[in-house]
Amino acid sequence: MEILGITTRGDRDLSSSLAKIGGKGLFVKELETALVEGRADIAVHSMKDVPMILPAGLTIAAITEREDPRDAFVSRHYARLSALPYGSSVGTSSLRRASQIRAHHPRLSVEPLRGNVETRLRRLDEGRYAAIILAAAGLKRLGLAARITALLDPEDSLPAAGQGALGIECLEARADLMDLLAPLAHAETGWCVRAERAVSRALSGSCVVPMGVYAERLGAGARLRSFVADPGGTRFVTADVQSGDGGVEPEELGARAAEQLLAGGAGAILAALADE
């Protein structure tokens, strides 16, 4: 196997917010171009970065077993978010994380933070922030789990759709590759990610929409929690749907969650964001 290293626009432009330069899809576009042009056979993505609608001719052949889906609180001097003094700066590049912090901890100041994981940690160590919020999965995969001060429960910071899961993409026409990749697929993770992406797809979710979605399998059933908020966290709509029947399709559960969000007023929030 040969690794084709690609630096995406999302990696290169560290001064602009993702919402303004095209969204998290900027981390996958160049990889998909390599697939279409035949320069690569497969591409590996964080599923939270994969747009809800794939380009024609491409498919996610396998979703691997999920790493920890939670957000991580990282600080040198404080044990948890609630311990931060009034006005403390919290760094994050995510509107989803920012809206939840502003809603649950309005006394804190949320500041933008871009760059790879090492860059973000360095800026914390330099004293530019009292704390930063990162994906726990990324820290653990990079061998940096020791930097995690505390893990945020979904009740405090609901993850993004697909957070912690890796997806392997290839051309739909490559049945040979799909057969080779099939053993890497993790059924439970795949089911949960499909449910989460169904919510985001139904609401046309992108990185300009503060949205969290998290599915869990509970025995034969499942639970799917989600929210839509405005960037300031002043308007916050939640949904919590469950199924006790293992026969329910993940897309069906996602559709129920989306309907609940819309019934609670998510449509007005989305419309306001679209007009900005």
Residue 238 lies in a domain: yes
Residue 3 lies in a domain: no
Do residues 44 and 80 share a domain? no
Residue 2 lies in a domain: no
Domain-ending residue, one of 90, 124, 152? 152
How does pLDDT run along the chain (276 residues), one tens digit per residue? 899 888 766 555 555 554 554 455 567 888 999 999 999 999 999 999 898 889 999 999 999 999 999 999 999 999 999 999 999 999 998 999 999 999 999 999 999 998 889 999 999 999 999 999 999 999 999 999 999 999 999 999 999 999 999 999 999 999 999 999 999 999 999 999 999 999 999 997 555 789 999 999 988 899 999 999 998 889 999 999 999 876 789 999 999 999 999 999 999 999 888 776
Domain count, the chain: 2
pLDDT of 162-191, one tens digit each?
999 999 999 999 999 999 999 999 999 999
Do residues 167 and 265 share a domain? yes
Do residues 271 and 184 share a domain? yes
Q: Which DSSP string corresponds to the chain?
A: --------HHHH--SS-HHHHT-GGGGTHHHHHHHHTTS-S-EEEEGGGS-SSPPTTEEEEEEPPP---SEEEE-SS-SSGGGSPTT-EEEES-HHHHHHHHHH-TTSEEEE--S-HHHHHHHHHTTS-SEEEEEHHHHHHTT-GGG--EEEPTTTSPPPTTTT-EEEEEETT-HHHHHHHGGG--HHHHHHHHHHHHHHHHTT--TTS-EEEEEEEETTEEEEEEEEE-TTSSSEEEEEEEE--TT--HHHHHHHHHHHHHHTTHHHHHHHHHH-
Question: What range defines the domain where residue 57 resides?
Answer: 9-67+161-275
**pLDDT of amino acid 204:** 76
Q: Of residues 11, 13, 41, 49, which has the active-site annotation?
A: 49
- The answer to whether residue 275 is catalytic is no
**pLDDT of amino acid 246:** 63
Do residues 233 and 105 share a domain? no
Domain-ending residue, one of 112, 129, 152? 152
Residue 38 lies in a domain: yes
Do residues 267 and 165 share a domain? yes
Do residues 265 and 202 share a domain? yes
